[in-house]
């Protein structure tokens, strides 16, 4: 019967004392360094800020909405994405696009 030996190529000092001295982020994040961590933190914050300020995809819980609610949502999308407006009168269709979020808003 053989015993398993620790893989010293991944952890050359696998003693319990060495493991207690290790920093909490000893893995990938710990190896990034301060500048990379600041960048990662900045990007994460930016993603949350952009997501919070983005146009709501489904502003009403039900598919059946009042005409005033439809008009309010249309006006909101229209004001934000007016430059991307495309009209298709034969189909009675208006499309707005948000290149930043890769989203299309279609109104019939």
pLDDT tens-place values along the chain, 108 residues long: 567 665 555 655 666 666 565 555 555 555 556 666 676 666 666 665 555 555 666 777 787 889 999 999 999 999 999 999 999 999 999 999 998 888 899 998
Which of 5, 26, 52 is the endpoint of a domain?
52
Which of these three, 52, 77, 98, is where a domain ends? 52
In a domain, 71, yes or no: yes
pLDDT of residue 68: 92
**Phi and psi torsions of 84, nearest 5°:** -100, 10
Does a structural domain hold residue 10?
no
Same domain, 76 and 100: yes
pLDDT of residue 9: 56
* Any domain includes 31: yes
The domain tally of the chain equals 2
Q: Is residue 4 part of a domain?
A: no
The per-residue pLDDT for 87 is 96
∠ CA 74-49-51, nearest 5°, is 45
Tell me, yes or no, whether 69 and 101 share the same domain: yes
Contact 60, 69 (CB under 8 A): yes
Give bridge partners of residue 96 from the DSSP assignment.
Answer: 105
Report pLDDT for 75.
95
Range of the domain at 95: 64-107
pTM for this entry: 0.47
Same domain, yes or no: 48 and 68: no
Instruction: Using alpha carbons only, give the angle 33, 35, 40 rounded to the nearest 5 degrees.
Output: 95
Structural domain includes residue 9: no
Predicted confidence at residue 59, as pLDDT, reads: 73
């Amino acid at each position: 019967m053989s015993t398993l030996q620790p893989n010293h190529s991944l952890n050359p000092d696998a003693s319990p004392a060495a493991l207690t001295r290790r920093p909490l982020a000893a893995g990938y994040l710990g190896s990034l360094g301060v500048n990379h961590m600041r960048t990662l933190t900045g990007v994460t914050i930016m993603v949350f800020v952009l997501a919070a300020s983005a146009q709501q995809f489904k502003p009403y819980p039900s598919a059946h909405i009042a005409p005033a609610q439809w008009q309010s949502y249309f006006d909101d999308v229209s004001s934000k994405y007016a430059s991307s407006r495309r009209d298709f009168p034969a189909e009675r269709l208006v499309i707005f696009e948000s290149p930043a979020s890769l989203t299309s808003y279609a109104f019939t």
